[in-house]
Structures are given as C-alpha cells and as structure tokens.
Structure 1
Amino acid sequence: MSAVTDTVRVAPAANPVSQSIRDSMVIAKRNLIRMSRIPEMIIYGLIQPIMFVVLFTYVFGGSMQIGGSTSAVDYKNFLMAGIFAQTVTFATASSGAGIADDMHKGLIDRFRSLPMARGAVLTGRTLADSAQTALTLVVLAVVALLVGWRVGSDGDTNVGKVLGAFGLLLLLGYAFTWIGALIGMSVRTPEAATSSGLIWLFPVTFISNAFVDTSHMTPWLRHIAEWNPFSATVQACRVLFANPGQSPSAAWPMQHPVWASLIYSILILVVFRTLAVRKYRSATA
C-alpha cells in the first residue's frame, strides 16, 4: 500500500501595512463611487461655502477694519483664507454623519465579517471625504477669483507657496475628519452626528482670526483665538498667499504660523485617529 501525501501550500501572511493601505484604498474607492452616483451630495457641499464667500464679501466687506483699512478689496483678500479653512473643517460634520449612517445601517458589521484591516474602514472614509473637500476647494478658489480675491496682494508669492497653503488646508481638513469619525462612532444616528459636529465647529471657526482681526477682541478672547489651531492655518495661508494678515501678535502660532499649522494638524490627526480606531474596534468586537 502506498500512501499519497498532499502538500498544502500556505500563502505567506500579507504585510500588515500594505494590507491596511490596500484595504483603505478599496473603501475610499467605494465611497467615491457612491458620491459620484449621488451628485447632490457634492452640489449641496459646494453651495454653503459659495454663499459664505458672497455674503461675507458683499455684506461685511465695507464695514470690516483690517490693519486700519476699511477697503472692501483688502477685506476680500483677508477673508478668503478664513473661508477656505472654514470649508475644510465643516466637512467634519458630513464625515461624522456618513460614518454614523454606515453604523446605523449595519454596513460596518458587514465590513467586519471581511478579512480586512480594522482601521481601513475609517481611513478609507476619511480619504474619500478629503477628496471631496479638495474638489470643493478648487471650485471655491475659482469663485473667490471671480469676486476679486488675488494672491500676492500684500507682497510676493509663487506657485509653490500657494500650493503649500492649499496643502496645509487639506491637512487640517483631513485631521478634522478624524474628529468627525470619532463622533460618528460615538452617537446612534446620523442626525445626532451632524448636530454634535456643528456644535463645536462654530466656536472653533468664529473664535479665530478667520473673519476679523483679533486685535479688536478683548484680551482673554484674543489669547484663545491666537492659540486656536484653526487660526494658525488661516494665518499660514495668508502668509503663503501674501494676503493682508491680522495685526502683529506676540503669540508663537502667529509668529510661526506654518510650523504651528503643521504641528497642530499632525497632533490632531495622530490623537483622534488613535481614538477613532480604538472606538471602532471596541464597537465591532
């Protein structure tokens, strides 16, 4: 009698990092396809920032004092960095609502049954939201140019600096989407995610240098505004765009806004990604 031995070849385990990247890209692609099939999601996401540009430019433009000037042109150039930053951070609410909706419909449980990296679901979702945010920024920049915004209005700049400013905006927006991801994992309904997302976004964006010169604020409020991570990115964009900025300040983030923006965004990204992935693992355990 002869024995037949079957040799079973075991595939080598995939590299965890490459698997996580691959799985994240698959989820991101899934979300981008979904967005393309629901164009109103993109259209409505564009309407609000365009309205902010038009309203702030033509309603408040002639009454705001920037560096001692009440020129509407100066305010346009001062304003746009704040509008851009507000746009990328407000995407946080929709990101949180989308993740909460996936949880509510049981889609996360279906992903859980697949052999995929645990953090890929959230990473893919945030990457897709960032792609939509980038598209929104492009449209918004065109609208800003149409209403009179110009780079280099207060000095010299170049293409590299302008692209660097938009890079900082996208980094801030991506970091903030992880805050939205954590909120989306922590609430029960998409409506709750949207409401809770906007509650903290309004003070963050308005207690800042986005729309007014902080020198006109009371001292304690000015201190908060100047150390606000949102303000650092706004100021960094104004420096890189060579647009009028706020009055000189001794606060470190206002003296070194580009570095402050990078540090704040990376810190927010690391902290909230860690918390969101941990929340995801506990919710699907």
Structure 2
Amino acid sequence: MTATAVPPPVTVVRTQPERIGPLLGLAHGLTLAKRNLRYAVRTPSSLIDTVIQPVLFLLVFVFLFGGAISGTWQEYLQTLVPGLMVQITMYASIGTGMALSNDISKGVFDRFRSLPIARSAPLVGAVLGDVIRYVVAVAVLLALAFALGFRVQTDPLSALFAFVLVVVFGLTLCWLSVLVGMVASTPQAVPGIAMAVILPLTFGSNIFADPETMPRWLELWIGVNPVTYFVDTVRGLMIGGPVAQPLIVSLFAVVVAHLVLLPLALRAYLRKVR
C-alpha cells in the first residue's frame, strides 16, 4: 500500500495596501470629479439647483417685491444680486451631501473600496465637482442680472474678488452638507435637514431687505449672522460700500466653520467608508 503524498502547507502572506500619496489621491479625486460632472450633464434634473434656481429667484424677487421694497425693481436689482450670489451657493452646496449619500445607498462606495484609489478620493471628487457647480450657478445669475440692467459700480478686479469669495463661502458650507449626508438615513432626508439650517441663515439676513425695517429680535439675529457680513462684503466689492470690516468678519467665520465642520465631516465620512 503506497502512502499518499501530503502537499506542503500553504503560507498566506498578508500584504498591506500600498500607501497612496497626496498628489495621487488628488488625481483620483479629479477623476471622480469628472465622473460627477458627466453625470450632472447627462441628468438635467440634477442641474435644477445650479441653473434654474438662480433664474427663478432673481425673476421672482426682483419683479414681485422690488417695487415694494426699493420703489423700483431696477433699484432693487442692484441691491439684490450680490445677496443672491451668496444665497445660490448656499443652496448649491446641498448637492454634495446628496451625491455622497446617494452613492453610499446605491453601493457605489463598495465598488470604490475594491479599487486602488485613495479613500478620500470620492469626497475630494464631490467637493471639486461642486466648485464647478458654484461657478456655473453664479455665472448664470450674473448673466441674467446683466441682461436686466445690473452693473458693477466698482471695478472688474473687485468684482472678481467677490466672485472668488462667494465660491470660498460655498466650499465652507460643503462640509456641513457632507456631515448631513453622512448622518442622514436616506439621500431624500439630506435636503430637509440641510434646509433647516440654511433657511434661517439666508432669510434671516440682509439679502432681501434692510434689517432696520424688521423687528428688534430679528435685527439682533441678523447682526450676528455670518451671512450678513458675506453679503455686505460682496455688495461693497460690486456696488460700493464698506468692505474691510465685513471682510474680516467673513474670513473669521470661514476659519471657525472649517475648524468645527471639517473634523466632524471627515470623521463621519471615514466611519462610512471603512
């Protein structure tokens, strides 16, 4: 009787995943940002907040309320447009959390885990894609505003700085949107939660009307609302007025928001992608 040969034991070597550098991680994020933009182009319904909202807000508020607030809609147009630039980016930032939550619910993140990409790439891609959405939203708003008669009363460099500041403000709120998207139970819950924060910030500000015409308690809230200072800065840069003091407060608000929201958003995101 011959003995059966016993195969040698197999040694399983567990290899650690290759460490991905920040530049390669950024490249992965840019690739996923292109993916998000292609999806937005192929699904026009996802562009409602980017293209349709600026048009609707400008037309509705200028022609329905312009005469009652400022006497003529032409005069109200000059005051309203800088404020709407801030508001539109705030609303557009909601798309970041919705996109991330939607990808997680559909299992897209499970596919990302099987790819040799940085764990931060989907988040970086969503945020970078939103930069383009902010630029498009504000550009659409300004194009219509100029067609209606809005004019920059300072200089092109100041107007460009106002544009950049609005985009920076939108990026700051991206982290709030990411946080909401990571803690919300479903993608459909993200807009409701985010709007519960954004609505008091926008309508409880000086975007639409002079705070001096409002009740004292609301005027006090507007005085501490950071959106008020962003609007004052953008107005000063585009149509004239004080800039230094509201700009300092605005930049301070950006720093504080990043210090608070960024760690919370990253922690919630990393917990989801593990």
- Output the amino acid matched with 1:280: Y
3-state SS of 1:25 partner: helix
Seen in structure 2, the aligned counterparts of structure 1 residues 58 and 205 have a Cα distance that, compared at 3 Å, is same
- Counterpart of 1:160 in structure 2 is 157
The answer to whether the aligner puts 1:222 opposite 2:256 as a matched pair is: no
Asked if the contact 1:174–1:269 (Cα under 8 Å) also holds between the matched residues in 2, the reply is no
- Which of the residues 34, 51, 54 maps onto 1:49? 54
The answer to whether the aligner puts 1:109 opposite 2:110 as a matched pair is: yes
- Displacement, 1:42? 2.2
- Output the amino acid matched with 2:51: L
3-state SS of 2:93 partner: helix
Asked if the contact 1:53–1:83 (Cα under 8 Å) also holds between the matched residues in 2, the reply is yes
1:1-285 pair list within 5 angstroms: 16-43=21-48, 45-65=50-70, 70-152=71-153, 157-243=154-240, 256-285=245-274
Asked if the contact 2:78–2:239 (Cα under 8 Å) also holds between the matched residues in 1, the reply is no
- Output the amino acid matched with 1:124: G
Q: Unaligned 5+ residue runs, structure 2?
A: 1-17
- The normalised TM-score by structure 2 is 0.86
Per-residue CA shift, 1:113-168, capped at 9, x if unaligned?
Answer: 3333332211210110221121111111010111221111xxxx111100000101
Structure with greater Cα Rg: 2
3-state SS of 2:149 partner: coil
Q: Distance in 1 between matches of 2:48 and 2:210?
A: 32
- Displacement, 1:271? 2.9
- Displacement, 1:237? 0.5
Q: Unaligned 5+ residue runs, structure 1?
A: 1-12, 246-253
Q: Distance in 1 between matches of 2:49 and 2:247?
A: 31
Asked if the contact 1:104–1:188 (Cα under 8 Å) also holds between the matched residues in 2, the reply is no
3-state SS of 1:150 partner: coil
Q: Distance in 1 between matches of 2:244 and 2:184?
A: 39
- Displacement, 1:223? 2.4
- Displacement, 1:277? 1.5
Q: Distance in 1 between matches of 2:246 and 2:268?
A: 32
- Displacement, 1:214? 1.2
- Counterpart of 1:251 in structure 2 is none
3-state SS of 2:67 partner: coil
- Output the amino acid matched with 1:268: A
Per-residue CA shift, 1:238-278, capped at 9, x if unaligned?
Answer: 00002578xxxxxxxx8611222222223323432221111
Farther off after superposition, 129-138 or 33-42: 33-42
Asked if the contact 1:102–1:108 (Cα under 8 Å) also holds between the matched residues in 2, the reply is yes
3-state SS of 1:190 partner: coil
Per-residue CA shift, 1:184-236, capped at 9, x if unaligned?
Answer: 11112111112111122111100001111112223332222122121111111
3-state SS of 2:191 partner: helix
Asked if the contact 1:79–1:211 (Cα under 8 Å) also holds between the matched residues in 2, the reply is yes
Asked if the contact 1:73–1:148 (Cα under 8 Å) also holds between the matched residues in 2, the reply is yes
- Displacement, 1:281? 1.2
- Output the amino acid matched with 1:98: A
Asked if the contact 1:88–1:173 (Cα under 8 Å) also holds between the matched residues in 2, the reply is yes
3-state SS of 2:119 partner: coil
- Output the amino acid matched with 1:211: F
Ranges of 4+ aligned residues in structure 1 off by more than 6 Å: none
- The normalised TM-score by structure 1 is 0.83
